[in-house]
Structure 1
Amino acid sequence: MIKAMYIFIYLFHSSRLFYSKLLKLRIVLAHILIKKNNERVYKYVPLMYFLQAHFPS
């Protein structure tokens, strides 16, 4: 799942539509982290940092 996300990020790096979807995804992941404060969700934290680095808001 996570590897697929990285592949999509590289494939659509210059796509504006995908960029906006990534921002929405990051917001959703942040809300999940706040609502469900458990270990299963923390695997998404590196992905969020990755998105932050490649697509600074």
Structure 2
Amino acid sequence: MGLPYVLEDFTSIFETGSISNKCCGELVVLGKVWQSELENRTLENPLFEDLSPATIIAKSIQT
């Protein structure tokens, strides 16, 4: 997955709540492994310590 899609995925989870069809297709191909890794990296990042793990996971599932 290229950086533009990574950024779109991240923005979708934490800001807009929407994602393009093209990026969504990439996420479907990469599957749960990719999404779990993004969640884990976010949980480890001190910039997001204000967000609960449940919030991060819920937003990720919604995307």
Task: Tell whether the structures are fold-level matches, with TM greater than 0.5.
Answer: no
Which protein has greater RCO, CA pairs closer than 8 Å, 6+ apart? 2
Per the shorter chain, which TM-score range?
0.3 to 0.5
